Structure 1
Amino acid sequence: MASVRLEVIDRGSATDVHPAPLLFVHGAWHAAWCWEENFLDFFAGRGYRAVALSFRGHGGSPTDKPLRSLSIADYVDDVAAVAADLPSAPVVIGHSMGGFVVQKYLEGRDAPAAVLMASAPPRGYLASGLRWFRRHPWQFLKSSASGESLAYVSPVAATRERFFSAHTPEEIVAACAARLQEESARSGRDGVTALPRPSRVRTPVLVLGALEDRMAVTPNEVRATARAYRTEPKIFPGMGHNMMLEPGWEAVATHIDSWLTARGL
C-alpha cells in the first residue's frame, strides 16, 4: 500500500440509486485535476460519490522515492490505498495509463465495475512508442536516453497532437499543457514488460475510445482491449485522447452514467 498521503479530490455522496463510489484514475503526465475539471461535479450532481486521486509524485501527492523510479506497481498500490479508505469497493475508472493501472489493479481484486477510457491496451505501450518514434525520432531517442519526457508533451502543439483533436479550442489545450508534469521513466518501461492479464479479471468492464485519438491509443487498440475483456467498445466520434476534457465530454460521462445505472450502481 502507499506509504505517503495521496492527494484526493472528493465530490458528492453515495445515494440509494448510486451506492458504489467512483474512483477516477488519471494517466501519464496528468493528476487528479483532469477529472475535477468536468467529471467529478457531473457525477456528484447525478447522485454519486466521485473521488479522484493523484498518484504519488503527481499533483499534490508527495513521493517516497524518485519520480523516475516509480513503477506501475506503485501506482496500483496508490489506487488500492485510496479504495481501502472508501466505505465500500469503488467502481474504478481509468484513463490512458490510468486504464493500464486499473487493469493491473483488477487482476487481484474485484470491483463492482470498471471503465477504461482511451486506455493503454493489455498488450502495452509498444505500439504507442513506435508511433512516437516514427513521428518524432529524435524526441523519442532523447527521452529514452534521459528518462525525461515532459519537454516533448507540454508545448501546446505537442499537447494537442498527443491528447486532443485538431478542432479542440486552443484555450482548452493550453490550459492542459500548463498543468502537465514529468512522468516516471520506470512506469513507461513497465508499460512494455509488466502487461495486464485479462483472464484474471472478473469485473465487468466498459471500454471507451476516441475516434480522433491517433497518437496515444488508436481506435483499433480500443477494439483490441474490448475483445480482451469480452465486450464491445464504444468509440466517440470527433474526440481526441483526453475524453474528459474534450468538447463533448458530457456524452462520454452520460454514457458511463447510463451503463452504471443499468447495473444498479
Structure 2
Amino acid sequence: MLEVIDKGAASDAHPTPLLFIHGAWHGAWCWDEHFLDFFADRGYRAVALSLRGHGSTPDAKAVRFASINDYVDDVESIASGLPTRPVVIGHSMGGFIVQTYLESHDAPAGILVASMPPHGARRFIPRMFQRRAGRAVRALTTGKSLQYFDSLDTVRTFFFSPTTPEADVVRYASRLCEESARISVDSLGLNLPKPALIKASLLVVGAEYDGCFSTDEVHVTAAAYGTEAVMFPMGHDVMLEPGWRDVAEHIDGWLVGRGL
C-alpha cells in the first residue's frame, strides 16, 4: 500500500486531478507542506504519493533495488484509480519518473519541476564526488546514499538556497529517507527517458540556485520537449522554499491556460 495524501475535489473549473511525484530521498510530505492545500483551495483535486520505501510507504528494505520501472508502476497504480487521467507533476527524480511514465501512459499534461534531465544523473553524480568524495564513494558502494546527506551544509547546498531559513533546512533534513541504489544505474544510462515517444504537453520549471541540476540542464530538458524553461530564484526544493507560492501560481496559470 502506497502512502497517498489526497486533498480537495475536482471542480467545474478544474475537472482534471493533479498527481504529484516526489524526488529522491523525499516523500509525499514535501508536496503537503504548501502545494496540496494551495491547489485544493483553487478547486483542484491534488494527490501526492510516496513511492515504495519513501515517506510512510512500507518496503524500506527493498527500496535499494527499486528501478525506474518499479517507480512508474507505483505512479500508475495511483493514476489508474483516479476518475480521469491526471496531470503528472514530478520534482527532481520524480521528473525522471514522469518522463518515463509518459512514454507509455496517457496524461493530459506533465510538469517537470527542477527535474532530472533526459540525460539522467551523469552530471549530478560527479557533483556529489566533487563536494564530498569520501562520502560519495561510501554511499554508492554500500547502496546507502542517505549517509551522504549527514550534514546540514550538504543538505542546503543540494536542496536549498543560501537564504532558506536554517530552521526549515533542519526540519526538512530530518525527513529525508534512503533512496534506491538501482535508480542510480538507471539514471546513469541503463534506462533513460526517450523524449521522442512523449506526446503530452510539458511545462518545465527550474531553479537558479539548484545544487542538483544546473540551469543549462534545465534548458536542455526544455529543448528536448520543444518548450522553454521557466526559472525561479530559489533552490532545488522549490516547493519548500520561501518563494514556493510564485512557482505554484505559475503552474496554476499554465494549467488554466490549457483548460485543466
TM-score (norm 2): 0.98
Residue of 185, 196, 201 corresponding to 2:198: 201
Whether 1:121 and 2:117 are equivalent positions in the alignment is yes
Correspondence for 2:252: 257
Alignment root-mean-square deviation, CA: 1.0
- Is the 2:164–2:241 contact (alpha carbons within 8 Å) kept by the matching residues of 1? yes
Structure 1 stretches of 5 or more lacking a match? none
Residue of 151, 154, 159 corresponding to 2:155: 159
Shift of residue 61, structure 1, vs aligned partner: 1.0
Alpha-carbon spacing, 1:163–1:64, altered in 2? closer, same or farther (3 Å): closer
Match of 1:11, SS state, is: strand
Alpha-carbon spacing, 1:26–1:64, altered in 2? closer, same or farther (3 Å): closer
TM-score (norm 1): 0.96
Match of 2:43, SS state, is: coil
Amino acid at match of 1:209: G
Residue of 96, 105, 108 corresponding to 2:92: 96
Q: Distance in 2 between matches of 1:101 and 1:13?
A: 25
Shift of residue 128, structure 1, vs aligned partner: 0.5
Amino acid at match of 2:124: S
Correspondence for 2:240: 245
- Is the 1:30–1:181 contact (alpha carbons within 8 Å) kept by the matching residues of 2? yes
Correspondence for 1:45: 41
Shift of residue 127, structure 1, vs aligned partner: 0.4
Structure 2 stretches of 5 or more lacking a match? none
Q: Distance in 1 between matches of 2:236 and 2:159?
A: 5
Q: Which moved more, 1:160-169 or 1:62-71?
A: 62-71
Shift of residue 101, structure 1, vs aligned partner: 0.3
Q: Distance in 2 between matches of 1:28 and 1:154?
A: 15
Shift of residue 63, structure 1, vs aligned partner: 2.4
Within-5 A mapping of 1:1-265: 5-63=1-59, 66-192=62-188, 193-213=190-210, 215-237=211-233, 239-265=234-260
Amino acid at match of 1:245: L
Percent of matched pairs sharing the same residue: 56
Q: Distance in 2 between matches of 1:64 and 1:236?
A: 33
Residues 195-227 of structure 1: CA deviation (Å, up to 9, x unaligned): 0000000000000000011x2111110000000
- Is the 2:14–2:43 contact (alpha carbons within 8 Å) kept by the matching residues of 1? yes
- Is the 1:29–1:180 contact (alpha carbons within 8 Å) kept by the matching residues of 2? yes
Shift of residue 140, structure 1, vs aligned partner: 1.4
Q: Distance in 2 between matches of 1:65 and 1:142?
A: 18
Residues 211-261 of structure 1: CA deviation (Å, up to 9, x unaligned): 011x21111100000000000000012x00000000100000000000000
- Is the 1:24–1:94 contact (alpha carbons within 8 Å) kept by the matching residues of 2? yes
- The number of residue pairs the alignment matches comes to 259
Q: Write out the 4+ residue segments of structure 1 that deviate beyond 6 Å after TM superposition.
A: none
Residues 72-124 of structure 1: CA deviation (Å, up to 9, x unaligned): 11100000000001000000000000000000000011211110000000000
Match of 1:221, SS state, is: helix
Amino acid at match of 2:63: L
- Is the 1:143–1:149 contact (alpha carbons within 8 Å) kept by the matching residues of 2? yes
Match of 1:93, SS state, is: strand
